[in-house]
Amino acid sequence: MRKGVRVTPGRPVDLGGRRPGATHGLADRDEAAAAVEAAAARMAEHATRLAADARRSLLVVLQGMDASGKDGTVRRCIGALNPMMVRITSFKAPTTQELAHDFLWRVTRELPGRGQVGVFNRSHYEDVLVVRVEGLAPEEVWRPRYEAINAWERNLVSEGTAIVKIFLHISREEQAERFLQRLRDPRKNWKFNVDDLAKRERWDDYMEAYEDALQRTSTSWAPWHVVPADHKWARDAIVTEILADTLEGMDLRYPPLAPEVRAARADLEARLAAGADAG
């Protein structure tokens, strides 16, 4: 994993001191593309073992401001996995039914099963981010949630899920650039939401809420990663490496040959050899 990306548990987080344009040692697009390719192959191999083993799960949480590249990260990094084993959920403004439950209810329902990878595009963290900044709930409601999140994630980890939390860190300037691209290209207009501009106005409040969330919920069992996201090519390499490292660190193995499988093989081979397999 690239140095400095992981948020050390217990340490204060200063997003202003982390450059969104950083590349963490990747010289250029070519070098990043080679890094993506190597990490994607590693990731795919260990993900196949995750499916084969069918005892553990991987949960990827993606957070970031509008246009920080969450969708692109899913397409470019998660897209390298076998789609059969991946379940992606985009969390929008909660529905009436979701609001009628505690804030962890809707995310719990979308957790990956054993052998699977779940991706949250936005997540339970919105309940200490947008909810806090836009005043959708009073402080006595959102304040205890950091601890609730840590306890909820700890249980998932002890039950066999590895959790990767990624904050895509873009600059306010790069966001303007990407908004304008969406606004100018008729094929990208649909990705633009007028509310995004109002949130942009509260940039500093959001950064403060993110700093608090990253600091309070980067734990030894589920640490945060701050990925510089102004350069998409660097972002893709860094995220794919984080995913590959995490899966590799789970030390997953192909299950041993079951005796009944060995017997089935001998049986099928014998039948085929004897021409006795005509249905």
Size of residue set near a copy of itself by CB under 8 A: 48
Sheet containing 161-169: which strands, arranged edge to edge? Answer: 86-90, 117-121, 57-64, 161-169, 224-228
Residue choice 91, 146, 152, 179 for contact with a copy of itself (CB under 8 A): 179
Q: Are 209 and 128 in contact (CB under 8 A)?
A: yes
Nearer to a copy of itself, 17 or 186 (CB): 186
Phi, psi for residue 253 in degrees, rounded to 5:
-125, 155
87 binds a copy of itself (CB under 8 A): yes
Sequence-separated (6 or more) residues with CB below 8 Å from residue 207: 15, 16
3-state SS, residue 20: coil
71 binds a copy of itself (CB under 8 A): yes
Nearer to a copy of itself, 96 or 190 (CB): 190
CB under 8 A: which stretch of 24-32, 142-150, 197-205, 234-242 binds a copy of itself? 197-205
Nearer to a copy of itself, 151 or 266 (CB): 266
Q: How far is 172 from 169, CA to CA, in rounded Å?
A: 10
Nearest distance, CB of residue 259 and a copy of itself, angstroms: 10
CB under 8 A: which stretch of 19-27, 91-99, 174-182, 228-236 binds a copy of itself? 174-182
Within 90-129, the residues that bind a copy of itself by CB under 8 A are 90, 121
CB under 8 A: which stretch of 20-28, 32-40, 123-131, 266-274 binds a copy of itself? 266-274
Nearest distance, CB of residue 2 and a copy of itself, angstroms: 24
Q: Are 166 and 239 in contact (CB under 8 A)?
A: yes
- How many beta carbons lie within 10 A of that of residue 48, not counting itself? 16
Within 238-257, the residues that bind a copy of itself by CB under 8 A are 254-255, 257
Instruction: Sort 240 into a burial class: Cβ within 10 Å, 0-12 / 13-18 / 19+.
Output: buried
3-state SS, residue 161: strand
Residue choice 16, 17, 27, 83 for contact with a copy of itself (CB under 8 A): 83
Smallest CA-to-CA distance from 111 within 101, 99, 119, 103 is with: 119
275 binds a copy of itself (CB under 8 A): no
Residue choice 151, 204, 220, 270 for contact with a copy of itself (CB under 8 A): 204
Smallest CA-to-CA distance from 213 within 231, 229, 228, 226 is with: 226
**Which two tokens mark 275?**
């021409």
Residue choice 172, 220, 249, 251 for contact with a copy of itself (CB under 8 A): 172
Residue choice 190, 273, 275, 276 for contact with a copy of itself (CB under 8 A): 190
Q: Are 81 and 119 in contact (CB under 8 A)?
A: no
171 binds a copy of itself (CB under 8 A): no
Cite the DSSP H helix spans in the chain: 29-53, 70-77, 96-99, 105-108, 130-133, 139-142, 145-158, 172-184, 195-201, 203-217, 232-249, 259-273
Binding site for a copy of itself (CB under 8 A): 48, 51-54, 71, 74-75, 78-79, 82-84, 86-88, 90, 121, 172, 176, 179-180, 183-184, 186-187, 189-190, 192, 194, 197, 201, 203-204, 254-255, 257-258, 260-261, 264-265, 267-269, 272, 277, 279
